[in-house]
Amino acid sequence: MKYILVTGGVISGIGKGIIASSVGTILKSCGLRVTAIKIDPYINIDAGTFSPYEHGEVFVLDDGGEVDLDLGNYERFLDIRLTKDNNLTTGKIYQSVINKERRGDYLGKTVQVVPHITDAIQEWVMRQARVPVDDDGVEPQICVIELGGTVGDIESMPFIEAFRQFQFKVKRENFCNIHVSLVPQPSATGEQKTKPTQNSVRELRGLGLSPDLIMCRCSTPLENSVKEKISMFCHVEPEQVICVADVSSIYRVPLLLEDQGVVGYFCQRLDLPIETRPRKMLTKWKEMSDRSDRLLEQCSIALVGKYTKFTDSYASVIKALEHSALAISHKLEIKYIDSADLEPNTLTEEPVKYHEAWQKLCSADGILVPGGFGVRGTEGKIQAINWARKQKKPFLGVCLGMQLAVCEFARNMLGWEDANSTEFDPKSQHPVVIDMPEHNPGQMGGTMRLGKRRTIFKTTNSILRRLYGDVEYVDERHRHRFEVNPELKEHFEGKGFHFVGQDVEGERMEVIELDDHPYFVGVQYHPEFTSRPIKPSPPYFGLLLASAGKLQSYLHKGCHFKKALRTPIQKLN
């Protein structure tokens, strides 16, 4: 087993996740089996109770693990399936050590950070690195480990110390360290500054880890003199200083690393079993990047949510939209709308905001209402859904978005004016969305309906069923505490609002579709978590097709890309 540790310096959010994913991608494209672990130094057990404004979205895995969004990057780039133990937190480590101490596993010793916490970290990494992540069930050969935060943070010290010891335990030829640093370029001088990188590397080396590769994040390509200066002051060869400048698409990052000889370096440094002859590498990534750069037609989607000020809150949703837009050869424009701005209160308090929000909504080609929690902004989302239904605008509701579509239909088509979710109005006379019987209101963490669950299609003429390839069922990831009230189902069905997908027992409503509408779909699950760059998620793909006016043609041609979606550019190729 080979281990590649990715650390970061100067600032957090520098792009360690994308770089770790890209390193894994280029090694996987060489025929190696790759897994990934993300270490978060916070004391939370998992990411499940975070506000999206803290660390971005909460990503959900097949096994129900609520984890950091970087695991979403690993799954999308490497096309693998991870488990909750691939996300290691300080909370998990301390919990496991304290549980051992209570059982008496330490035989009366004083339990300390060194060696007990550091040993637990090393054991966790070695154990998890061997867990298969591909469908073939074969043990990985390489484990890419990303250490969150920045070097020098007080909370990441035990992890740095654990890896200082770990490099000797697994031997030098099986461990290497990539340090990601920032090379700022102040506008006053336009000169690239190396001092932050020098300080960051000095601190890392002072803690006992020497970087093998220094990956420099910068806005423009590194000048040779800057590269040589970093090489001289940071005790590495110039070839070990890699420039990761801003690029048009994150899919270009693996190509950028490959062009700078990263694979060759790993071959020699880690003694990898890769042939050095010229090989066709990363062709699909190159094609994808080239296609995304030369798209001409545009499609706009209004994303109506409550966390729109921080786009990482909807990272997987945005990626799923990008994958689908690329598949239909359209440039994607996302119009972020804070749902509270669509509400009548905003008209009286901040009329400019109100009119701008409605102008964005009305000018979009399609509307997406993603998942969320809490009452703020829900009435604005219901207004957006109402507009999409009446104006026959393509609409996709995900999780809370689907539940609010049910509320909107109940209020305006069934005449139940106070129809609501018990999450927002426990005293509603028409509780169309209720909390699930197994929901434990006393504890927040890990008590939702989480992870991969099966949805059975109850009808053969469903649009979504056809988009999935006319299958009888789909397995998708869930994350919710509330569900559509199954007792009221018949009232909706009689008015053309169909629950076309249900769970295995037929008790949970999973997919809704509306008659006489180009695309009005809601799903209780989160399809964005399983979207891939070359295999977009069908609900999002349907939204983009309908928004671009190509859905009927696609369905009519038997759901084949090439027949229905051929563009002038593809013909030229």
Any idea which residues carry the catalytic annotation?
Answer: 399, 526, 528
281: nearest Cα among 20, 2, 25:
25
Rounded Cα distance between 522 and 307, Å, is 20
CA distances from 483 to 404, 410, 512 (A): 11, 15, 13
Rounded Cα distance between 337 and 289, Å, is 28
DSSP string, 542-557: HHHHHHTT-HHHHHHT
Longest dimension (CA), the chain: 75
The sign one gets for the Cα dihedral 417, 459, 454, 537 is negative
234 three-state secondary structure: helix
Secondary structure string (H, E, C) spanning 32-91: CCEEEEEEECCCCCCCCCCCHHHHCCCEECCCCCEECCHHHHHHHHHCCCCCHHHEEEHH
Which residues is 39 bridged to in the sheet?
A: 88, 147
Locate 556 and state its tokens: 């009519």
Contact 325, 360 (CB under 8 A): no
Locate 492 and state its tokens: 């909706």
* Total length of the chain: 573
Which residues is 35 bridged to in the sheet?
A: 143
Locate 132 and state its tokens: 């298969």
Bridge pairing between strands 34-40 and 87-89: parallel
Locate 217 and state its tokens: 């994040």
User: 135 burial class (0-12, 13-18, 19+ CB within 10 angstroms)?
Assistant: exposed
DSSP string, 525-537: S-GGGG-BTTB--
